[in-house]
């Protein structure tokens, strides 16, 4: 089953790691190293089944290949998942995992992801040098991710409305985690009207009060009329049930794997909704850790994140010229870089 699924998606290597002493159960997936070593975060989740964990790590690592290539980075795509409850995370568990990363000899470079943070990267660094996102590095990449999403939204607005001015645009942001909050601040500074939504009522209401924002309930967020819908929470939110409900011209946000299936890119196109592919617009986090790996500064990362909008404009033009989805245009952009590096 594993080899078959690897073949279906073109993965080079999938490594299973266990350690009875620490309880470590992890899967590290390396999708493609044509452009350079694979880089991707380590996600820690209590997956219901091993099959669920495998599906997640395969999908995420493949997306990282395209994200790196589409961000003009000389890196490949990788990802890791640790099957565990976040409450059971320990320093010994992370050290054991760090040893596993080191065994791969630099083919995989890890960083922060869901339920892993800077402190965990410090522990992993005790066992391997193949880790970024540390305290003495560039730190939390979410501000750069938000900056890149903002750049992408500017490009979407320019393409759809022939102006990059956001002062009369209404943006609905789904999810006010670190990236969502950073995006709110950039949009408000640009004069946009912002409405927020989050599954945590207490958090979203407090945040909205502090910033003078309107709140829309999670169950009706897709029905809220706006210019731009910005999903910044979980993936798979755009599907057969939600897309017909959208009352927007543009979908552009920081969440990963926003489309439930690849075919939903065409569904959005058929509704004349401009879609910024998530792995293109939210590449700021990857840009940050890649910049750290190369010894660059936060200023370098922000500069490169602001180029995301320019790449999206190219992809929008390709999509229109060839009558394809923007997702297909993004894939062609990434695949062209990979083929050139082969």
Cα 169 from Cα 158, distance rounded (Å): 12
- 172 bridge partner residues: 195, 229
Q: For 92-120, how does the pLDDT look when each residue is reduced to its tens digit (9 = 90+)?
A: 999 999 999 999 999 999 998 889 988 99
Same-domain check for residues 148 and 53: no
Which CATH number belongs to the domain containing residue 235 in this structure? 3.40.50.720
Residue 283 three-state SS: coil
Q: What are phi and psi of 56, to 5 degrees?
A: -65, -45
Q: Kindly state the DSSP code that residue 7 receives in the 8-state scheme.
A: H
Look at residue 289 in the predicted model and tell me its pLDDT: 87
Residue 130 lies in a domain: no
Give a yes or no: residue 117 inside a domain: yes
The reply to whether 162 falls in a domain is: yes
By DSSP bridging, strand 193-197 and strand 76-83 are unpaired
**What is the number of structural domains in the chain?**
2
Q: Are residues 150 and 217 in the same domain?
A: yes
- Same domain as 206, residue 161: yes
Task: Say whether both 16 and 49 belong to one domain.
Answer: yes
Mean pLDDT score of the chain: 94
Domain shared by 110 and 154, yes or no? no
Same domain, yes or no, for 218 and 110? no
Domain that holds residue 263: 142-283+309-337
Q: Do 84 and 166 fall within a single domain?
A: no
Spatial distance between the Cα atoms of 193 and 184, rounded to a whole number of angstroms: 9
Which stretches does DSSP call E strand in the chain? 13-19, 24-32, 38-45, 76-83, 108-111, 170-174, 193-197, 214-215, 228-231, 250-251, 274-275
Per-residue DSSP letter, 131: B
For the chain, which ranges sit under pLDDT 70?
A: 1, 6, 8, 342
| H or E stretch at 334 | helix 326-341
How far apart, in whole angstroms, are the C-alpha atoms of residue 41 and residue 286? 9
Tell me: do 332 and 223 sit in the same domain.
Answer: yes
Q: Give the pLDDT score at 342.
A: 57
CATH number for 113: 3.40.50.10860
- 155 and 91 in a single domain? The answer is no
Phi, psi of 111, deg, nearest 5: -160, -165
Residue 19 shares a structural domain with residue 164: no
Q: Is residue 182 part of a domain?
A: yes
Q: Which of 25, 79, 89, 203 is catalytic?
A: 79
Nearby residues of 238 by Cβ (< 8 Å), 6 or more positions away:
231, 246, 251, 258, 259, 260, 264, 268
Please say if 269 is a catalytic residue.
Answer: no
Residues 110, 231 within the same domain: no
267 plus 155 within the same structural domain: yes
Q: Each residue of 162-209: pLDDT tens digit? A: 998 999 899 999 999 999 999 999 999 999 999 999 999 999 999 999
DSSP state of 337: H
């Amino acid at each position: 089953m594993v080899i078959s699924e690897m073949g279906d998606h073109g993965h080079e290597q999938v490594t299973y790691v266990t350690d009875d002493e620490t309880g470590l159960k992890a899967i590290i997936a390396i999708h493609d190293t044509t452009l350079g070593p694979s880089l991707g975060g380590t996600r820690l989740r209590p997956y219901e089944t091993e099959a669920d964990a495998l599906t997640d790590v395969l999908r995420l690592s493949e997306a990282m290949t395209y994200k790196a290539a589409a961000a003009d980075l000389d890196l490949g795509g990788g990802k890791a998942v640790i099957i565990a409850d976040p409450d059971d995370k320990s320093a010994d568990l992370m050290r054991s995992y760090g040893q596993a990363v080191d065994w791969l000899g630099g083919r995989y470079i890890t960083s922060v992801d869901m339920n892993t943070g800077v402190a965990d990267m410090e522990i992993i660094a005790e066992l391997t040098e193949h880790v970024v996102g540390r305290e003495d590095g560039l730190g939390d990449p979410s501000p750069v991710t938000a900056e890149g999403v903002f750049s992408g939204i500017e490009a979407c607005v320019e393409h759809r409305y022939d102006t990059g001015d956001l002062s009369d645009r209404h943006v609905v942001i789904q999810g006010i985690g670190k990236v969502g909050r950073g995006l709110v601040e950039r949009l408000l500074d640009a004069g946009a009207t912002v409405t927020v939504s989050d599954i945590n009522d207490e958090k979203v209401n407090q945040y909205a009060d502090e910033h003078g924002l309107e709140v829309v309930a999670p169950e009706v967020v897709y029905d809220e009329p706006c210019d731009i819908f910005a999903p910044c929470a979980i993936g798979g939110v755009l599907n057969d049930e939600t897309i017909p409900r959208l009352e927007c011209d543009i979908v552009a946000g920081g969440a990963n794997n926003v489309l439930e299936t690849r075919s939903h890119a065409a569904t959005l196109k058929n509704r004349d909704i401009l879609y910024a592919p998530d792995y293109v617009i939210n590449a700021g986090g990857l840009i940050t850790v890649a910049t750290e790996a190369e010894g660059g500064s936060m200023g370098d990362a922000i500069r490169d994140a602001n180029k995301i909008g320019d790449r999206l404009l190219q992809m929008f033009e390709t999509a229109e010229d060839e009558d394809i989805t923007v997702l297909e245009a993004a894939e062609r952009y990434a695949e062209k870089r990979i083929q050139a590096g082969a």
